[in-house]
Structure 1
Amino acid sequence: MSGFKAVDFSLTGKVALVTGAGRGIGQGIALSLAQAGADLVLADYDIGIAEEAAANVRALGRRAVALQVDVSKAESVANMIGQVRQAFGRLDVAVNNAGVVSLGRVDELPVSEWDRIMNINARGVFLCCQAELKLMREHNFGRIINLASIAGKVGFPDLSHYSASKFAVIGFTNAFAKEVAREGITVNALCPGVVGTGMWRGDEGLSARWAQPGETEVQSWERHQSSLLPQGEAQTVEDMGQLAVYLACAPHVTGQAIAVDGGFSL
């Protein structure tokens, strides 16, 4: 077809920042971006695991810098962006993945825990986007990807505070995308489904909490995959990385909240 442009999913020459990059979904996204050619800044509250993740990126032949950040604090976020500028001079892709989760019913949830979840998951996304925008505007280009959740589309029991924070991320993302839509900057939300990381697995995860009488955590995990997901199997961190690479390359997708959840949500 005359004038048809081939799809290019290369991020060679681009600089990407991932918060919460030390483990789980964040590390999976960072590795996917590196495999697509990006150099990485890997930020995490725990500098030790950020350094380990950076070593994995360097093993792929990409440059990588590890940073410590507390996304709930404006001064820490500003320092992070300052170090991105110092290391690379630009920022092309930002994945605001840092987040926390806990379980608790509304009638037993301390106000302090509500505030903690909202401060990291919602305030943290706002602070990061605000700081990232300043650096992206210098080059009239940017791809911002905010991590939400299927719990930002559908409420779950024991997760009212977490769901509220992720609903907030989706609404903020849509509004922010419209503000910068003509500046060469896109803003989207990635909504993971059922991924076998800390939120779901282990003695304190949802599988254990929602286990039926006499059911082990492993049996509960298998049952939830089968009952919740039309595809019948959990998603992976690599699945999240694939969508992140796409959104990092797509010029005309913005303001969206895209779920990778095996068909669970609308």
Structure 2
Amino acid sequence: MTDITLPLDGKIALVVGGGRGIGAGIARSLAEAGADVVVADYDLALATESSAAVEALGCRTAAIKVDVRHAESVQAMVDAVERQFGRLDIAVNNAGIVSVGKVGELTVDQWDQLMAVNLRGVFLSCTSELALMRKNRFGRIINTSSIAGKIGFPDLSHYTASKFGVIGFTNAFAKEVAGEGITVNALCPGIVETGMWRGDDGMSARWAQDGESEAESWDRHQSTLLPQGEAQTPEDMGQLVVFLASAKHVTGQAIAVDGGFSL
């Protein structure tokens, strides 16, 4: 019988914000591609649950609690990866939050809290991950932006600003480390059936037309915004992450997985 070599066999991956939704899907995809996967999340219970799914695929794993707003927490996370696994090859910085509100309604606290997670958190994570990756002159960093990092959305000016910022930071950072064996790219999810879109507080409820249910609004947004007519999945995001984790000469890019929305 011929042994099958998976594309990420022997690699050590870290998924920050990997406890649920897109992050959990990415963690599973990396494990299916052969990587050992550390799952970090603000909610340790969610990180543990996602880590168990990785373990069920036969990969080494660990669950870590992290608060990406604070440098000491982020550094402790990366130190734990080095202590348990010896190095870091792939880092996916997926931690993010969302809230809604028009300019004039948003408070300074709402703006600052969202920026602290979505943009400061990416910066802090990349800073600590880079120091460890430099020891082996190899690394693949993927920062989660959004289709909202390419196209502005009403009621999401602060979220859009943070995600545009992730793309700009990623492009500049990629150029700084391009000669060190480290690539840096941004993943831009489109419409994914997660808490941002679904539920009483999601965008499909907020943007529902008169007399339209949340589910009807969700269906309408899929059919009208997406040329393919259907939402993307966490597994779709995982497919791109696996590619970027394998690609030597793709760096500084912001790639959308959005069913053709941003064409």
Task: With the length of structure 1 as denominator, give the TM-score of the two structures.
Answer: 0.96
Alignment partner, residue 104 of structure 2: 107
C-alpha distance in structure 1 between counterparts of 2:137 and 2:16, whole Å: 22
C-alpha distance in structure 2 between counterparts of 1:21 and 1:171, whole Å: 23
Matching of residues 138-157 of structure 1 within 5 Å? 138-157=135-154
SS at structure 2 position matched to 1:108: coil
Alignment partner, residue 129 of structure 1: 126
Matching of residues 8-47 of structure 1 within 5 Å? 10-47=7-44
Are 2:93 and 2:142, in contact at CA under 8 Å, matched by a contact in 1?
A: yes
1:9: Cα distance to partner?
6.1
C-alpha distance in structure 2 between counterparts of 1:234 and 1:58, whole Å: 28
Matched, 1:218 2:208: no
Are 1:9 and 1:249, in contact at CA under 8 Å, matched by a contact in 2?
A: no
SS at structure 2 position matched to 1:106: coil
Alignment partner, residue 117 of structure 1: 114
**Stretches of 4+ moved more than 6 A in 1?**
none
C-alpha distance in structure 2 between counterparts of 1:142 and 1:156, whole Å: 33
Are 1:105 and 1:158, in contact at CA under 8 Å, matched by a contact in 2?
A: yes
Query: In structure 2, do the counterparts of structure 1 residues 172 and 9 end up closer, same or farther at CA, with 3 Å as the change threshold?
Result: farther
Q: Among residues 235, 239, 242, which one is paired with 1:238 in the alignment?
A: 235
C-alpha RMSD of the superposition: 0.8
Matched, 1:247 2:244: yes
Are 1:9 and 1:246, in contact at CA under 8 Å, matched by a contact in 2?
A: no
Alignment partner, residue 89 of structure 2: 92
Offset from partner CA, 1:203-234 (integer Å, 9 cap, x none): 00000000000000000000000110111110
SS at structure 2 position matched to 1:177: helix
Matched, 1:175 2:172: yes
C-alpha distance in structure 2 between counterparts of 1:107 and 1:223, whole Å: 28
Q: Which amino acid aligns with 2:115?
A: M
Are 1:14 and 1:93, in contact at CA under 8 Å, matched by a contact in 2?
A: yes
Are 2:27 and 2:238, in contact at CA under 8 Å, matched by a contact in 1?
A: yes
Are 2:6 and 2:34, in contact at CA under 8 Å, matched by a contact in 1?
A: no
* Pairs aligned (count): 259
Matched, 1:58 2:49: no
Specify every segment of 5 or more residues in structure 2 that has no aligned partner in the other structure, as ranges: none
Alignment partner, residue 166 of structure 1: 163
SS at structure 1 position matched to 2:178: coil
1:167: Cα distance to partner?
0.3
Specify every segment of 5 or more residues in structure 1 that has no aligned partner in the other structure, as ranges: 1-7
Q: Which amino acid aligns with 1:61?
A: G
Q: Among residues 165, 177, 187, which one is paired with 1:190 in the alignment?
A: 187
1:22: Cα distance to partner?
0.5
Alignment partner, residue 260 of structure 1: 257
Alignment partner, residue 75 of structure 1: 72
Q: Percent identity?
A: 71
C-alpha distance in structure 2 between counterparts of 1:170 and 1:186, whole Å: 14
C-alpha distance in structure 2 between counterparts of 1:170 and 1:117, whole Å: 16
